[in-house]
Structure 1
Amino acid sequence: MSAPSDLSITLYSNPGCPYVHRTLTTLHELSIPFTPSFIDLSTPRPESYLKINPRGTVPALTFTSPSFNGKEVVINESLIIVHFLADLFPNHLIPSAGNLEGAAERARILFVIDTWGNKIGSLFLKVSLASVGGEEAANEAVEAAVTAVEKEIEPLLVKLERDGDGPFLGGRDKFTLAEVAIAPFILRSFAQASDGIIPSSFKERLLALPNFGKWATEVLKNESLLKDWDEPTFLEGTKKRLQQFKDGTFKPKV
């Protein structure tokens, strides 16, 4: 199956943003056509965009469909957008509702996403920012993040008796929404570790975890994830922002 043929989607985005990356990965995974609209995050947002998303953040998605009254509808925030896209038609990202097995697997996928958001996400950011404070601060941040992943995420990746033999959550052969939601952050952290922006031990220790390491290795091979990934530009921008943090000159431009 596919998205409704009369659905016209515009994605307001900046490919460097991991939250946008979630949405792009979902669109590619589901082969949903869309029109991209670039938002420059280094300058104040234009009034036209603030009317779409008053917060000024990305991504934002608008759609029109004659079968849905024909008026433009706005959806903001990455997880809400990817849920909307995954709910358009039955697909591999999340099981359909309406039966016990599907409900159980949906709960499993959503719990992994929730755990990452509440327990892990901020620690990954701290690893990057701590590099500004020197080696000791960076190593402390690495220790905290790796410990949290081992405690919170590692057990959730253990295969259950009912699971398949695939490399993704639940033994699936394709991405679920859990991979979509988490992969952009792993990708960026590993790129920083390989480039020396953050300690290389961060990547090495995460890959050494039996479940997480195997899972992350397969996750980062996904073509939909890598389609819009520009590693050199990301690394250049990251170094620039970290220097601004160090100099005390960083100012969000919303």
Structure 2
Amino acid sequence: MSIEINARHLHLVSHKLCPYVQRSVITLIEKGVPYTRTDIDLAAKPEWFRELSPTGKVPLLQIDHRHTLFESAVICEYLDEITEKPLLPEEPLQRAQHRAWIEFGSAVLNLIARLYNAGYEVDFDAARQALRERFLRLEPVIAAPYFTGTAFGLVDAVYGPIFRYFDVFESRTDLGIFDGLPNVQHWRQSLRQRESVRQAVDPDYPQALIAFVQARNSWLARLLQPEHAAL
């Protein structure tokens, strides 16, 4: 670890369910960077947070109580640049390609939001099909067990939280999104077992996520009712 990061105080402002926060936490853990964390309620944002965040979103990374970074991609790349053993490739074209797949992951998260917000079956099925098409595009790209093979990278930090959604949802209902996608399934399993990915959420994350979805009274909320639980 660099002298610079050892000398800095890092404070992550977060929300316990946010996948973008999880990216940052995974990166911090992979880098072995010490930090403190404060979870906030996004439905009742503290005034100090409103003053710090230009977008009103998490995560925020406070550095030495003086500087604030927002946007998870920026936070992760900052952490990657000031520490050893980079999680992004050093070669410019490869680095740009990884950044592109990170943006692709953000688009996948938008579709997941469409999935759990859909009020009608037709809209739910459209979101589910759109998600499957995204993973079909990823299938030939993945080297496995991680995105580029044996080395864990920043792309993996992005997709760990994505797959976690489906780990929770599919404990109650079969979505069929990953059927016939062996590379994606191998990648998903590898990320599920990665210690940094596991540690990025609290033990009660599955219950909290199910409660969050059920409060939306969506089509997925009906499928997540206990009577639909996988046997």
TM-score scaled by length of structure 1: 0.76
Deviation at 1:241, TM superposition (A): 4.4
Contact 1:186 1:216 in 2 (8 A): yes
Kindly provide the amino acid, as one letter, of the partner of residue 55 in structure 2.
R
Q: 1:55 to 1:111 in 2, by over 3 A?
A: closer
- Please, which of 161, 167, 170 is the counterpart of residue 193 of structure 1? 170
Deviation at 1:168, TM superposition (A): 1.3
Q: How does 1:1-254 map to 2 (within 5 A)?
A: 1-2=1-2, 4=4, 5-42=6-43, 44-64=44-64, 72-96=66-90, 102-118=91-107, 120-130=108-118, 132-134=119-121, 136-150=122-136, 152-157=137-142, 159=143, 167-171=145-149, 173-196=150-173, 200-202=174-176, 205-206=177-178, 208-230=180-202, 232-246=204-218
Contact 2:139 2:184 in 1 (8 A): yes
Kindly provide the amino acid, as one letter, of the partner of residue 101 in structure 2.
V
Q: Return 5+ residue gaps in structure 2 as ranges.
A: 219-231
Kindly provide the amino acid, as one letter, of the partner of residue 211 in structure 1.
N
Q: 1:244 to 1:168 in 2, by over 3 A?
A: closer
User: Higher mean Cα deviation, 137-146 or 228-237?
Assistant: 228-237
CA distance in 1, matches of 2:148, 2:200: 26
Residues 8-41 of structure 1 show CA distances to partners (whole Å, capped at 9, x for unaligned) of 1111112221111111111001000011122122
Deviation at 1:236, TM superposition (A): 3.5
Residues 30-83 of structure 1 show CA distances to partners (whole Å, capped at 9, x for unaligned) of 0000111221223x212111111133211101112xxxxxx7111001111111
CA distance in 2, matches of 1:41, 1:234: 19
Kindly provide the amino acid, as one letter, of the partner of residue 104 in structure 1.
L
Q: 1:144 to 1:93 in 2, by over 3 A?
A: same
**In angstroms, what is the RMSD of aligned CA positions?**
2.3
Contact 1:59 1:76 in 2 (8 A): yes
Secondary structure at the aligned position of 1:206 is classed as coil
Contact 2:132 2:178 in 1 (8 A): yes
Secondary structure at the aligned position of 1:21 is classed as helix
Secondary structure at the aligned position of 1:75 is classed as strand
Aligned equivalent of 1:99? none
Residues 127-172 of structure 1 show CA distances to partners (whole Å, capped at 9, x for unaligned) of 2223x424x443332222112320x322322x4xxxxxx621222x
CA distance in 1, matches of 2:56, 2:3: 28
